Structure 1
Amino acid sequence: GYDDRWSAWSKIYYKEYSNLPDGRFIFQVKARNQLGIESLPDSLEFTIDHPWYKSPVAYMAYLLAGIGLVSILAMFIRWRIRITSRRVKLNNQRIYEAKEQEYIRQALESEKEIIRIRNERLHAEMILRDKELANQAMNLVRKNEFLNQLKDELNGLRHGCGNELTEREVSEIISKVNREVDSNRQREVFESAFDEVHEEFLQRVKVKYPDLTPTELRLCAFLKMNLPTKEIAPLLNISVRGVEICRYRIRKKMGITRDVNLTTHLLNV
């Protein structure tokens, strides 16, 4: 530091000062003899220049550095804002896309559920129509069996009676029974309903196995309905043996062995 008053008398003829600030200073000195008489003060004026870091150039550099630092800080803040905004935007976009995908997934699941319910309903309707068709087939077979049995009994009655009038009446009844047995009306109704119910199935089988005849295609549908051979025979106007032969031909054309159940195979077509 520096002194702002006179120091104590000393025989040391020099004075040290350290850490003097920059500025203008006056160093004063005086002497005293043995009699204690003091001399007039003598002075030395000197100036300590400002250090480089306090120069105008330094202050200008500080100002420019401050401006640069503020600019860099502002750029960094803007960059952070852009990055944050971009992240928020991307995050919002991901959330939106996730929600959109979820909506699409739910819509697809709903559509699949609707299709499943519709298919189940169609399948149930198909089963019901198959049952109705099978009942019609059974009724047709039973009716023809009954009429044939009735015809046989009437023939026996006609040959057993000796009355010509009664024999003629019985013959007329037999003729009516024959006309009813040979009538194609009920068969045509049944076949029309049969073709309507099994149109898609018959088309698939026909496309996959084009060599099958119409009779063989009908037999495939009857087998799919799980009808026994005895009931299928009159529906196709062939014998039970004829049904077995037809089944053999179907197996051969489809290329399946005897260890494969034909009905199960048809259900998977």
Structure 2
Amino acid sequence: MFVMRFLLLLFLSGLLSGSLFAQNDNLPKLQLSDQDEYEQIRPDSTFLALKDAYNRAIEKKDPMAAATCLVQMGQICFHLGHFPQALDYLLQAGDIFRKEGDHQQLASNLNDIGMLYYYNKQPELSRRQYEEALAIYHQLNNNAGVAVTYGKIGHLYEKQQHYDSAFLYQRRALNAYLLVDDKKGMSKIYENIGSIYEDLARYDSASYYFSRALDLNMQGGEKIARIEILNNLGDVLRKTGHYTEALFQTRNALLLALDLHEQRQLSGAYRDLAKAHHLAGANDSAFYYLELSRQYLLRTYSDENSKQVALLQTVYDIEKKNNEIDRLQNVRKTTRIITAAIIVVILLLVAMGILIISRQRLKLRNEQILRMQHRQIFETEKELMEAALQNKQLQEGKLKEELEVRSRELTTHTLHIIQKNQLLEELRARLDEMVKDDKRDQKKQLKQLLSQINHSFNHDQYWVDFRNIFEQVHQAFFDNLKKYCDTLTSNDLRLVALLKMNMESNDIATLLGISQDSLRVVRYRLRKKLNLQQGESLTAFIQSL
């Protein structure tokens, strides 16, 4: 039962230690501070102070100070396992370093970003960051930076179990450290090489390199790193069955951890002691040390949880505060925008009002000018119209006088023709009587006289003068008449003109030199040519034209 309890505790201890410290075993640390220094700080208060410093740097427009704060905040998040947040801070810092042209800081930051990508299970991205950092260090001739980056690349290959590449880069890192005589760096590389040999179960080579790492560390290396080296030596000795030597190395690591108050290392040392005592058959001691390991592990776990909770609360409070600040700034900005918009609108309204008033005044002035111009034009047009009206009235009066004169001439001319025709009619009647007499000697002369008289009846000169006068009195009469019939003869036109003058049938017959019966026939023919219906008055139709 005791053995079973021991094995169960050993199994639980391995699970807890593996889940909590897997990222710390045999892995390089970030460069902000040593792990023991980090243990002495309160991450929440430190993070808050760094956030305030970052805000001040932003206000002072000091990008390098802001980037340094971002790096340190990212490393605090890294130590507490908040890898995404840590990566975000480091990426922001990298952008600043790149923009400001600080290649040294950029390369160091790229190494840290590469480690975070490794912990996030993204080895390709991790290797890309290391390669860029390596190129920068080569360009700067910084052998120490080159050595650090080679070591990280070798460690990455080791975790991918590409041991040949891991050895290659670790030896390159060792050569670079030798150039700058960095014993601390060489110690770490020896430890990494020993770890590779341990993974390959070549424990003699692993023990050799761990011993070399311990020797160099004793000359001035970090004590935390020394504890890890001692634990690694103890592990190799335990795996090769050298339990006494293993217990010796592990106790040395335990004493150093007790001196440094390193709970994480204490838990690991007690766990290694428990394993060694168990393999040596001292299960009581193994159980005792395993219980101590568990207690320190739980205490460390509790402390880490407290720090994580405190940091999360701090981050939450900061985010809440930032959100509130952003909200207030947005409100203030919105208020400014609204105020500015109101002022602009008021100014626009005032300007628009002034413009409208100016335009109205200009419009009124223009309207007055136009009104005056229109009045002048109206007065001028009125005067012109009055003058034209007077001229027209004068012309109408003159035309009326001429028309009256023409009418009198036409009437006189017509009466003259009638009198002449009446005279001729009387002469013709008397001559007819003379012809009927038996006086043969006068008959020839009388026939000649009668022929001359008949010829006078058919002479058109008077009718030409008559028509000219008629057309002057009755303008466009014959044109309107031709719209109804354009086949009228000269005799038809004479009859129409006499009907237009409202002359009696007897006078018309006398003027035309025809009898009443002939006149009726001529009138009938004219009605047919004008397409007048039966019962429609010929005289009324002609008067309407």
**In structure 1, what is the Cα distance between the partners aligned to 2:525 and 2:434?**
43
Query: Are the equivalent residues in 2 in contact too, given 1:134–1:225 (CA < 8 A)?
Result: no
Q: Separation in 2 of the partners of 1:246 and 1:113?
A: 47
Aligned equivalents of 2:403 and 2:384: distance in 1? 28
> Pick from 436, 448, 455: which aligns with 1:175?
448
Letter of the 1:90 counterpart: E
How far did residue 181 of structure 1 move?
4.2
Aligned equivalent of 1:145: 422
Instruction: Tell me the secondary structure at the aligned position of residue 227 of structure 1.
Output: coil
State whether residues 151 and 174 of structure 1, in contact with CA within 8 Å, keep that contact through their aligned partners in structure 2.
no
Check conservation: 2:500, 2:542, Cα contact below 8 A: yes
Q: Aligned equivalents of 1:220 and 1:88: distance in 2?
A: 66
Any idea what SS the aligned residue of 1:152 has?
A: helix
Residue 251 of structure 1 is matched in structure 2 by 527
Letter in 1 for 2:492: E
* CA distance 1:258–1:141, shift in 2 (3 Å): same
* Higher-helix-fraction structure: 2
Higher strand share: 1
Q: SS of the residue aligned with 2:514?
A: coil
1:83 and 2:348 matched: no
Q: Secondary structure at the match of 1:183?
A: helix
Q: Deviation at 1:179?
A: 1.4
Aligned-residue offset at 1:159: 6.0
Q: What does residue range 51-70 of structure 1 map to in structure 2 within 5 Å? A: none
How far off its partner does 1:193 sit? 1.0
The answer to whether the Cα contact below 8 Å between 1:141 and 1:235 also exists between their aligned partners in 2 is: yes
In structure 2, relative to structure 1, the CA distance for the partners of 1:230 and 1:124 (3 Å cut) is: farther
From the superposition, tell whether residues 255 and 221 of structure 1 become closer, same or farther in structure 2 (CA, over 3 Å).
same
Letter in 1 for 2:461: V
Distance 2:378 2:503 in 1: 49
Distance 1:117 1:248 in 2: 44
* Matched AA of 2:525: R
CA-to-partner distance for each residue in 1:34-77, whole Å, 9 max, x for gaps? xxxxxxxxxxxxxxxxxxxxxxxxxxxxxxxxxxx9xx999967
Shift of 1:122: 3.1
Per the TM alignment, residue 261 of structure 1 is displaced from its structure 2 partner at its CA by 4.3
Structure 2 match to 1:226: 502
Are the equivalent residues in 2 in contact too, given 1:133–1:190 (CA < 8 A)? Answer: no
- Cα deviation per residue 1:62-113 (whole Å; 9 max; x = unaligned)? xxxxxxx9xx999967764553232121132134225424543554465456
In structure 2, the gaps of 5 or more residues are 1-345
Contact 2:499 2:539 in 1 (8 A): yes
Q: CA RMSD in A?
A: 4.1
Query: Aligned pair 1:198/2:455, yes or no?
Result: no
8 Å contact 1:147–1:177 — kept in the other structure?
no
User: Is 1:263 equivalent to 2:504 in the alignment?
Assistant: no
Number of matched pairs: 196
Q: CA deviation at 1:177?
A: 5.3
Give 1:128 shift.
Answer: 3.5
For the 8 Å contact 1:216–1:250, the answer to whether it is kept is: yes
Report the Cα offset of residue 256 of structure 1.
4.0
Report the 3-state secondary structure (helix = DSSP H, G, I; strand = E; otherwise coil) of the residue aligned with 2:502: coil
How far apart in 1 are the matches of 2:408 and 2:495?
16
Q: Contact 1:148/1:181 (CA < 8 Å) preserved in 2?
A: no
Query: Which structure has the larger Rg?
Result: 2
**Alignment identity in percent?**
24
2:490 maps to 1:214: yes
Instruction: Verify the 8 A CA contact 2:428 2:453 in the aligned structure 1.
Output: no
Report the TM-score, using the length of structure 1 for normalisation: 0.54
Counterpart check, 1:133 vs 2:405: no
